[in-house]
A and B are shown apart, each in its own frame.
Chain A
Amino acid sequence: MMSETGHAEPTSFFRRYIFSTDHKVIGKQYLFLGMVMALLGGLMAYVMRWQLAWPGSQVPGAALLSEPAVVDGVVTPPFYNALVTMHGTIMVFFVAMPILLGAFGNYLVPLMIGARDMAFPRLNMLSFWILFTASSVMMISFFVPGGAAAGGWTAYPPLSARPLLSGVNWGMNLWILGLALEFSAFLLGGVNLLTTVVTMRAPGMTMWRLPMMVWMQLTAAIIFMLSVGPTIAGAILLLLDRVVGTGFFVPQQGGDPLLWQHLFWFFGHPEVYVILLPGIGVLAEVLPAFSRKPIFAYKMILYSIFVAGVLSFLVWAHHMFVSGMNPTLVMPFSVATILISVPFTIVIFALIATLWGGSIQLPTAMLYALGTLTMFIIGGITGIFNGSAPVDIYIHDTYFVVAHFHYTLFPTVLLGGLAGFYFWFPKMFGRMLNETLGKIHFWLTLISFNAVFLPMFALGIGGHVRRIYDPSTYDLLKPLHGITTFVTIATVCLLLSQIPFLINIVVSLTRGERAAANPWRANTLEWSTASPPPHENFVGDPVVMRGPYEYSVPGADQDWLPQMQDADTATTR
């Protein structure tokens, strides 16, 4: 299946670390990019929260920002809108996707299927650099006259379609350009991943022996590729509306603003599954390894994911219950939305059942996995409120929604991302992370995360609409102001809680204990090669003999049976 003559390891610094075609280096590049963007997105959240808690006061650190974004250290309304928009855009497209798909997908998939690299290594490099360009375009858009895009991450026209209406001209064009580049990067990445999984599996690696992470990456890539088309078309129309003066979304010229909402959400809803699935993939690797048990009902989980994936294409209008679309369409979308809870109940309970009867260890990676699972459940349950059309009439566009989607996204992206980070760090960097710092980091993050987002449900119930610059405008929100302030203080705590993490990375990279090939005694193929793996991943040619979750098999002399039993059988084929 694989050519015996792989490419030789490049020697120059540039070819090795910058313009590398090695999936492992590219995976780390995605990881690094995603982490930097997460920091920027988090700082944007900090500035927003400060303005909400103490409207019109100086933001500490605002000296780093310049006019007209801030005036005398105070955030201006246009800049607030730009922050909301760019925070959402960055977190979804430049943090979640780079870390969960870019980093984990690139780094892990070839290793897990026993391949030497991705199917198209140079295309892989291209994808990353397109994404890098896209991120730069997004960040540069803050500095053009008029500032960055300010119409929300959903960019509803006509606000987004006419520079005069939002006051943002080039910032919005660059936003469209940046997204178009981002989409291209992940389309190319998706093709690459699909080809890799289909054609480059090691002998013996049947589809039903694939680790769950690979399945999730594959399904996510397919969902992304199938859903993004209409939104790309919509983005082109939007750009034409802006720069050529067409009126696809402008009613005065015969256009329809709702058309954009349909085109956007047809992709926007499946997109949350694109993000969610790799997060579930992390759980499906980490929970069995630290419970020493097979994953519960492997195939049933997959079938449920496929069903949920198909349903995800049929629910987009649940974002539009009060948009003015045809009310007879509302109930079918509401029913389909709520029905998604059925396959997800299967997945969640299967993950919980994986713990049942196990021999559970709680290193930081496992703590993060459990944190992801427990917190995501809150996100899932609160989704029912939004899915119920009449309840959504009230909570739509309030902080209840903000709380809900952060309880789905933050666990999968950041808690799940960290579970994966603590789990695969030894493999990626050849050193162990410090467990004490890791646990401090975990508990601080978990507690402050809840302190930030749990009270937001109450704010939403109280009528606090989202994307407003100054809640003190409304008498209704005055009694809630204590909660608002509390949330902001918790946000600062959440950001500061990342300091032990940064220290941990620096200390462990330089002085951490050297990692063995398989420190967690896990089964999947990436653990059967050295940490970090050599240039072409495996010394011999791996041959796969069993499924990925054979933990605690009765009669075996150890509580794990690697997919590739030992190097000898592997090299001799």
Chain B
Amino acid sequence: MAKWFPHNVSTFGGDIDSLFWLIFWVGLAWFVLAEGLILYFVIRYRRGKSQKAAYITGVPWRQSAWILVPAAVVLVLDLAVDAMGAHAFEAVKGESPQPDVRLRLTGEQFGWNITYPGPDGVFDTPDDLVMLYEMHVPVNKTVAIALGSKDVIHSFFVPALRLKQDALPGREIPVWFKATEPGDYEILCAELCGFGHTKMRGMLTVHTDESYAQWVRENWEQ
């Protein structure tokens, strides 16, 4: 199943994946235990000719321990998952580290507008560069995105980054990531936004430093 996850290329994606696998293995153990018990009981206590059922009410503590102990163990495991989760969530959705690149991403029925501040590094000036569907960023640099929407709720989802954030009209939501490998990664819209929802395919291109410099030269300085 490991290979069913798209290859991770973000700094925080690894934590999400390990948390997933932690829950997976713990969950699998409980699954095997619970289903195994059911199967065993059904086979072992299948009605025979003379077999009589035992009168077990589960009321005395010695009996109810059979359900309370598993619950206590689950409680401990829950708290462990929560404790690890708090850290991983904070990494993704908490304060962004100092950004190297800033851009604006605006969802719209049915496309993604990506705005670069241009050579002056300031938004809303004539040298801003707006691209449709294409996001270009350098590798190993912190990218800070101001995520918004023009009309309905969309959701910015890059599976390879393990990153998803709804884009709301009327709000600017800060999102950040640092991509660790150059390449092209698909952007999906994860929130139903109308009949063209399926078409909101964007592309994130993570460049090496040289190719990013070249891309900037070609696109920003005409």
A→B interface (CB under 8 Å): 76-78, 81, 84, 150-152, 156, 158-159, 165-167, 251-252, 256-258, 291-300, 322-324, 327, 330-331, 334-335, 338-339, 341-343, 345-346, 348-350, 352-353, 355-362, 370, 373-374, 377-378, 381-382, 384-385, 388-391, 393-394, 396-398, 458, 461-463, 465, 467-470, 473-476, 551-554, 559
Given contacts A327-B94, A370-B42, A388-B19, contact A473 B71 (CB under 8 A): no
Chain A residues within an 8 Å CB radius of B197 = 77, 81, 467-469
Minimum CB–CB distance from A492 to chain B (whole Å) comes to: 23
Q: How far is the CB of B138 from chain A (nearest CB, A)?
A: 23
Taken residue by residue from 52 to 71, chain B's Cβ proximity to chain A (1 for < 8 Å, 0 otherwise) reads as: 11111111000110111011
Q: Are B190 and A158 in contact (CB under 8 A)?
A: no
What are 26 A-B interface contacts by the 8 Å CB criterion?
A159-B192, A298-B58, A300-B58, A342-B75, A342-B78, A343-B71, A349-B71, A350-B58, A350-B67, A352-B37, A353-B67, A359-B48, A374-B35, A384-B27, A384-B78, A384-B81, A385-B24, A385-B27, A390-B15, A462-B4, A463-B159, A465-B188, A470-B198, A473-B201, A474-B186, A559-B52
A498 to B142, CA, bound (A): 55
Contact B45 A345 (CB under 8 A): no
Complex contact B92–A393 (CB within 8 A): yes
Total A-B residue contacts, Cβ distance less than 8 Å: 279
Interchain CB contact under 8 A, A370 and B198: no
The docked-state distance in angstroms from the alpha carbon of A350 to that of B48 is: 24
Residues of B within 8 A of A474 (CB): 186, 188, 201
Known interface pairs A297-B57, A360-B45. Does A458 touch B170 (Cβ–Cβ under 8 Å)?
no
What per-residue 1/0 map shows which CB atoms of B171-197 lie under 8 Å from chain A? Answer: 101000000000000101111111111
Q: Are A384 and B23 in contact (CB under 8 A)?
A: yes
Tell whether, in the assembled complex, residue A360 and residue B70 are in contact, meaning their CB atoms are under 8 Å apart.
Answer: no
Is residue B215 within 8 Å, beta carbon to beta carbon, of the partner chain?
A: no
Set of chain B residues within 8 Å of A292, measured between Cβ atoms: 47, 53
Take A151-B192, A388-B19 as given contacts and tell me if A293 and B155 are in contact as well, using a CB distance cutoff of 8 Å.
Answer: no
B34 within 8 A of A: yes
A458 vs B106: C-alpha distance when bound (angstroms): 30
In the assembled complex, the Cα of A552 lies from the Cα of B47 at a distance in Å of 13
Please give me the residue from chain A that is nearest to B92 by CB atom: A393
Docked Cα-Cα span, A552 to B192, in Å, equals 55
Determine if B46 and A462 form an interchain contact, defined as CB atoms under 8 angstroms apart.
no
Q: A159-B153, A357-B54, A476-B186 are in contact. Are A462 and B5 (CB under 8 A)?
A: yes
Chain B contact patch, size range: 35 or more
User: Looking at B6, B38, B86, B89, which has the most chain A CB atoms within 10 Å of its CB?
Assistant: B89
Distance A474 CA – B94 CA, assembled complex (angstroms): 30
Which of B42, B193, B198 has the most chain A CB within a 10 Å cutoff? B198
Known: A467-B197, A469-B198. A552 touches B53 (CB 8 A): yes
**Chain A residues with CB under 8 A of B188:** 463, 465, 474, 476
Assembly CA distance A467 to B155 (angstroms): 13
- A356 and B153 contacting across the interface, CB-CB below 8 Å: no
A474 to B38, CA, bound (A): 42
Instruction: Check if B194 sits within 8 Å of A159, measured CB to CB.
Output: yes
Q: Is the CB of B186 within 8 A of A458?
A: no
Minimum C-beta distance from B170 to chain A (A): 2
Residues of B with C-beta under 8 A to A349:
34, 66-67, 70-71
Q: Which residues of B contact A350 (CB under 8 A)?
A: 58, 67
Asked if A391 contacts B195 (CB within 8 A), the reply is: no
A78 to B93, CA, bound (A): 33
Q: Which of B188-222 contact A (CB under 8 A)?
A: 188-199, 201
Q: Which residue of A lies closest to B51 (CB)?
A: A359
Assess whether B38 is in contact with A370, with CB atoms less than 8 Å apart. Answer: yes
* Nearest 10 interchain pairs by C-beta: A251-B170, A297-B58, A463-B159, A296-B58, A357-B54, A390-B88, A355-B41, A292-B53, A552-B53, A359-B53
B residues with CB within 8 A of A: 1, 4-6, 15-16, 19-20, 23-24, 27, 30-31, 34-35, 37-38, 41-42, 45-48, 51-59, 63-64, 66-68, 70-71, 74-75, 78, 81-82, 85-86, 88-89, 91-94, 109, 151-153, 155, 157, 159, 162-166, 168-171, 173, 186, 188-199, 201
Say how far A129's CB is from chain B's closest CB, in angstroms. Answer: 33
Whether the pair A345, B74 counts as a contact (CB closer than 8 A) is yes
CB pair A391–B20 under 8 Å, yes or no, is: yes
Contact check, B4 vs A396: say whether CB atoms are below 8 A apart. Answer: no
Measured CA separation A151–B193 after assembly (Å): 8
Tell me how far the C-beta of B164 lies from the nearest C-beta in chain A, rounded to whole angstroms: 5
Known: A252-B170, A349-B67, A396-B190. A341 touches B74 (CB 8 A): yes
User: Of all chain A residues, which has the CB nearest B157?
Assistant: A465
Q: Which chain B residues lie closer than 8 Å to A296 at the CB level?
A: 56-58, 63, 66-67
B38 adjacent to A373 (CB under 8 Å): yes
Chain A residues with CB below 8 A from B186, complex form: 474-476
Residue in A331, A346, A389, A473 with the greatest tally of chain B CB atoms within 10 Å: A389
**B46 CB contacts on chain A under 8 angstroms:** 360, 362
Give 20 A-B pairs besides A339-B75, A473-B201 with Cβ atoms closer than 8 angstroms. A77-B196, A77-B198, A158-B152, A291-B53, A294-B58, A296-B56, A297-B64, A324-B171, A343-B71, A345-B71, A346-B68, A353-B66, A357-B45, A359-B53, A391-B23, A393-B16, A394-B16, A394-B20, A463-B6, A465-B189
Q: Which residues of B contact A322 (CB under 8 A)?
A: 155, 164-166
Say whether B41 contacts A352, CB under 8 Å: yes
Whether B66 contacts A390 by the Cβ 8 Å rule is no
In the complex, chain B residues whose CB is within 8 Å of the CB of A396: 164, 190
Residues of A within 8 A of B41 (CB): 352, 355-356, 358, 360
- Cα distance A159–B168 in the bound complex, in angstroms: 11
Distance in angstroms from B81 CB to nearest chain A CB is 6
CA distance A378 to B50 in the complex (A): 35
Shortest B41–chain A CB gap in Å is: 4
- Distance in angstroms from A346 CB to nearest chain B CB is 5
Residues of A within 8 A of B30 (CB): 381
Contacts of B155 in A (CB 8 A): 322, 397
CB distance from A555 to the nearest CB of B (A): 9
- Name the A residues within 8 Å of B68 (CB-CB): 300, 346
B-chain residues with CB within 8 Å of residue A78 when the two chains form the complex:
195
Contact assessment for A252 and B169 in the assembled complex, using a CB-CB cutoff below 8 Å: yes
- The smallest beta-carbon distance between A9 and chain B, in angstroms, is 40
Assembly CA distance A151 to B197 (angstroms): 11
B55–A553 touching, CB < 8 Å: yes
Chain B residues whose C-beta falls within 8 Å of the C-beta of A338 in the assembled complex: 78, 81-82
Complex contacts, B31 vs chain A, CB 8 Å: 377-378, 381
Q: Give Cα distance in the complex from A166 to B170, angstroms.
A: 18
Would you call B53 and A345 a contact (CB within 8 A)?
no
| Bound complex: CA A396 to CA B162 (Å) | 11
Q: Which residue of A lies closest to B72 (CB)?
A: A342
